[in-house]
Amino acid sequence: MTANADDYANREIVTTRLFDAPRELVFRAWTEPDHLAKWWGPKGFTNTFHEFDPRPGGTWRFVMHGPNGTDYPNEIVFVEIASPERLVLDHVSLPKFRLTVSFEEVAGKTKVTFRQLFDSPETYGRIKSLALPGNEENFDKLASELAAMGAGSHEMLMSRVVLAPRELVWKAWTDSVHLAKWWGPRGFSSPRCELDLRVGGKLHVDMQHPDGTVRPMIGQFLEIVPPERLVFTAMPLDPNGKPLFEATNAVDFRQEGPMTRINVRATVEKIHDPIALRFLTGRDQGWAESLYRLADVVDEMVGSPPGRASSPLSLNKT
């Protein structure tokens, strides 16, 4: 399968994603069948591998099982394997295309560029509307598998100091009226904020995006030691009410003279949907913005101008 540069636009689909994982690990996810079988294909698809011979001229034969029960036999021939930089494969069963995958190291992460060059503009035209969203779902599943392989950071440590007594800061965290004013990134609101402040008690916070989208979050209190420590679970839900991921948040409040230091440890325990990885890429910024908003709420509670309680924020990922 060859092509001139001037007809690529009518035959080629390109999908790119930056993954929070080292290049060698991403390459392993593409070339080790135990990992590849778990993520290959759009959302809802599974795989049965019958042959996997990763060398130039080697064959990869497998069946993709669709969510509706339909089976899709596939046969691919390896053309080039340059670890950990590049893969070239020919999809010799229909639809026919050459797949070229490049792996670029970017500051400890890996940029994957996925190029499908079809055998004709007609094939491209038939497949494009399915391949574009399918490739993104494929990459979502790859991100989830990389996370399971140990990539990325599932724990975040963040510290902030506010100029207010610890009891007041505790109240800002545990009173639903105050919590609703600062929970979430800048521009977000919380039209629903319900807390049952007891061990085993539930919490439910709906975060509303500036565009009107509502993102529900439910959880449960695990530990309550006023005004020193608060531990609770958090589980964001998708529009159908299904969990995206489960996290445990441990918050410690330490009095330092007239100030209170807030230490947050946020740990993702389980990922239910690969799309959660997209949300988690903005987790650190979201927490930072929430804590800045908390400082403003504490200012209001002590009757000071906004910004009085603000202080530098430190963040550490493990």
Tell me: the pLDDT tens digits for 110-133? 999 999 999 999 999 999 999 999
Residue 307 has pLDDT above 90, yes or no: no
Picking from 32, 145, 24, the residue whose alpha carbon sits closest to that of residue 83 is 24
For residues 136 and 283, give the distance between their C-alpha atoms in angstroms, rounded to a whole number: 21
Domains defined along the chain, listed by start = 5-148 (3.30.530.20), 155-317 (3.30.530.20)
Quick one: pLDDT band at residue 306, thresholds 50, 70, 90? low
What is the crossing angle of helices 166-174 and 283-302, to 10°? 120
pLDDT value at residue 22:
87
Quick one: pLDDT band at residue 160, thresholds 50, 70, 90? very high
pLDDT, the chain, mean: 90
**Residue type at 309?**
A
| Percentage above 70 pLDDT, the chain | 91
Residue 56 has pLDDT above 80, yes or no: yes
For residues 142 and 138, give the distance between their C-alpha atoms in angstroms, rounded to a whole number: 6
Can you give the three-state secondary structure of the chain, one letter per residue?
Answer: CCCCHHHHHHCEEEEEEEECCCHHHHHHHHHCHHHHHHHCCCCCCEEEEEEECCCCCCEEEEEEECCCCCEEEEEEEEEEEECCCEEEEEECCCCCEEEEEEEEEECCEEEEEEEEEECCHHHHHHHHHHHHHHHHHHHHHHHHHHHHCCCCCCEEEEEEEECCCHHHHHHHHHCHHHHHHHCCCCCCEEEEEEECCCCCCEEEEEEECCCCCEEEEEEEEEEEECCCEEEEEEEEECCCCCECEEEEEEEEEEEECCEEEEEEEEEEEEECCCCHHHHHCCHHHHHHHHHHHHHHHHHHHHCCCCCCCCCCEEEEEC
Kindly report which listed range (6-20, 34-48, 243-257) carries the lowest average pLDDT score.
6-20
For residues 71 and 41, give the distance between their C-alpha atoms in angstroms, rounded to a whole number: 12
pLDDT value at residue 7:
67
Q: For residue range 267-304, what is the model confidence (pLDDT) as tens digits?
A: 888 877 777 776 777 788 899 999 999 999 999 998 76
Yes or no: say if 204 and 232 are a contact pair by the CB < 8 Å rule: no
Residue 1 has pLDDT above 50, yes or no: no
Yes or no: say if 275 and 254 are a contact pair by the CB < 8 Å rule: no
Quick one: pLDDT band at residue 151, thresholds 50, 70, 90? low
User: Which residues share a beta bridge with 233?
Assistant: 248
Yes or no: say if 237 and 245 are a contact pair by the CB < 8 Å rule: no
Look at the pTM and tell me if it is higher than 0.85.
no
